[in-house]
Structure 1
């Protein structure tokens, strides 16, 4: 497998965590979003979405992180990311898709660049935009976690929800989002960061991280 992604992309981060949790080997192929490499013909001819991540697997190029995560779980059933119980699967999807569908679109790089370049918004104003939309979704996610009475993870081990949550929390902290009123979320974050799969997938540990 070859994973085409960017070290700080939340969707690329998702795929790295999923691959690590499932114990699947892959080659990391950096795509520099700041240089718009994803829009070049060499990449966009293979992935019409011109976005990361893209996974080359089984002789096919596959895109869209959430579809990829579920494909991985079906194609490689060992170490499942979704629980066996149908109600628990629903809960994992409810929380994961709340983050993936409500937050990625308004908070991704092209939108932030558009706010800056087309509307002349300052970095401070962009930060306010970012934190507003984070709160709109993460506040109810935290309330749901409180209702469920979670421990270190949503269920007995990290899965789909943690795969989606951790990259969003990483990006939220870059924009100084306040997690002080989110003990369930931060407890899950601490537990995940103690595990090798999350450490290996972390942006700080990627070869294309310039720092």
Structure 2
């Protein structure tokens, strides 16, 4: 039995759900409320000492960090391939994915926003300005990258890759926070095409309001 320990609105969990769906891997979902602090329970600490979601139990392993999990899935279930085998193509895909997973997501995930509000005493308005700033910084860079390359169907070519698996959850959450997307037409086009695929639709927690 493959078990995904997750939170529905977690971008990182969303990525892994997409990858599992694309690979056709059946799994059981066990959900934890991050807002209620369930990831800090002793039971979850045994699963992942970092107290973060997702954590995937598969093949007798407990895997954390969504990019590492997806790399394992890509090696274990190579069809469809999400990370190219060609070194140059692989580097391009991984760079796009890490632009999101390292330079956007960690700065605006729930625990950072809660720390700004609860520990640093920042207002919701300031917290939202923080979120908006880092999303726009990241999306601006990605829009430039997408415009500089041929008009592929998806982020790094005409097939889905790890870059799309990271992009769709990030755009989903940006829309939840009412981020204005007009400045990113190419990014939005790529996102819409990927997000409409069944594996992405089935992985989405809810439809964004805008």
Q: Which has the higher contact order (CA 8 A, sep 6+)?
A: 1
Alignment of 1:189 with 2:191, yes or no, is yes
Equivalent pairs, count: 205
* Distance (Å, rounded) in 1 between the aligned partners of 2:42 and 2:54: 16
2:172 corresponds to which residue?
Answer: 170
1:131 corresponds to which residue?
Answer: 132
Alignment of 1:108 with 2:109, yes or no, is yes
Gaps of 5+ in 1: 206-211
1:42 corresponds to which residue?
Answer: 43
- Using structure 2 for the length normalisation, give the TM-score: 0.93
* Distance (Å, rounded) in 1 between the aligned partners of 2:158 and 2:15: 19
* Distance (Å, rounded) in 1 between the aligned partners of 2:166 and 2:92: 13
Cα deviation, 1:19-77, whole Å, max 9, x if unaligned, reads 11111111111111111111100111121111100001011211111111111111222
Task: Map residues 138-153 of structure 1 onto 2, 5 A cutoff.
Answer: 138-153=139-154
* Distance (Å, rounded) in 2 between the aligned partners of 1:43 and 1:114: 21
* Distance (Å, rounded) in 2 between the aligned partners of 1:119 and 1:42: 29
1:71 corresponds to which residue?
Answer: 72
Cα deviation, 1:115-159, whole Å, max 9, x if unaligned, reads 111222222211110011112221111101100123321211111
1:120 corresponds to which residue?
Answer: 121
- Using structure 1 for the length normalisation, give the TM-score: 0.93
Regions of 4+ moved over 4 Å: none
Alignment of 1:95 with 2:77, yes or no, is no
